[in-house]
């Protein structure tokens, strides 16, 4: 059985790939197929890499500390200006949906926030608003915790983001 496996690998490597040879455009590789170029995907140096994506927002700190909320709102707005071309009306529509979800009866509030997260995910994907990924992650935390104070603080954060984005 060990002998059949190299045979399968060999046929897979020899298969033509859409207009180029089996190893064209791949650069130098080691025996395991990892990229050997400096800084390539196979490079295991992680100390000098920046963290992937924006930093996460801590829900407990958001509830307890108004200055933390303000700083996070500024951070999201600055990332929006750097990364995205989202319009103010898109943000405003999402904020109105947040306000409606907060005002929903307590028995229906968690469901409203789950649906809001789906709407936020769609808007992020549709309009390439990658800077709002942190809000989507925070919204997941808020929904899982299902705390009225968390819902209110999420609304306050979104209100601050809308205000600072004007």
Q: Which residues contact 100 (CB under 8 A, 6 or more apart)?
A: 112
Q: Per-residue pLDDT tens for 27-61?
A: 555 555 555 555 444 444 444 444 455 678 999 99
Q: Is residue 47 part of a domain?
A: no
Calculate mean pLDDT across residues 134-147.
93
Asked, for residue 40, whether it belongs to a domain, the answer is no
Residue 29: inside a domain: no
pLDDT at 92 (0 to 100): 92
Q: Is residue 91 part of a domain?
A: yes
The string of pLDDT tens digits covering residues 87-122 is 788 889 999 999 999 999 999 999 999 999 999 999
pTM of full prediction above 0.75:
no
| Rounded-to-10 torsion of CA 55, 98, 74, 64 | -70
* Structural domain count, the chain: 1
Beta-sheet strands, E only, within 25-146: none
Whole-angstrom Cα distance, residue 161 to residue 62? 14
Mean pLDDT of 62-78: 93
**Within a domain: residue 84?**
yes
pLDDT tens, residue by residue, 9-32:
445 445 555 555 555 555 555 555
Helix (H) or strand (E) holding 13: helix 4-14
| 17 part of a folded domain | no
| DSSP label of 17 | B
Three-state DSSP class for residue 18? coil
The residues pairing with 17 across neighbouring beta strands, listed in sequence order, are: 20
Asked whether the CA dihedral 166, 141, 64, 71 is positive or negative, the reply is negative
What confidence score (pLDDT) does residue 90 get? 86
Position 45 scores a pLDDT of 47
pLDDT band at 81 (very low <50, low <70, confident <90, very high): confident
Residue 4 has pLDDT above 70, yes or no: no
159 in any annotated domain = yes
State both tokens at 161: 């983001």
DSSP structural state of residue 43: -
Residue 15 covered by a domain: no
| Residue-number span of the structural domain to which 139 is assigned | 59-164
């Amino acid at each position: 059985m060990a002998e059949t496996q190299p045979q399968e690998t060999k046929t897979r490597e020899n298969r033509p790939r859409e207009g180029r040879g089996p190893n064209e455009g791949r650069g130098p590789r080691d025996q395991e197929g990892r990229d050997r170029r400096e800084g390539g995907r196979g490079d295991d140096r992680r100390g000098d890499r920046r963290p992937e994506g924006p930093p996460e927002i801590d829900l407990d700190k958001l509830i307890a500390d108004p200055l933390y909320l303000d700083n996070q709102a500024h951070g999201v707005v600055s990332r929006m200006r750097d990364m995205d071309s989202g319009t103010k009306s898109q943000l405003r529509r999402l904020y109105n949906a947040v306000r409606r979800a907060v005002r929903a009866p307590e028995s229906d509030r968690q469901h409203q926030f789950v649906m809001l997260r789906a709407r936020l995910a769609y808007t992020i994907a549709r309009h390439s608003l990658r800077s709002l990924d942190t809000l989507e992650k925070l919204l997941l935390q808020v929904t899982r915790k299902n705390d009225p104070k968390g819902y209110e603080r999420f609304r306050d954060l979104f209100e601050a983001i809308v205000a600072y984005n004007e």
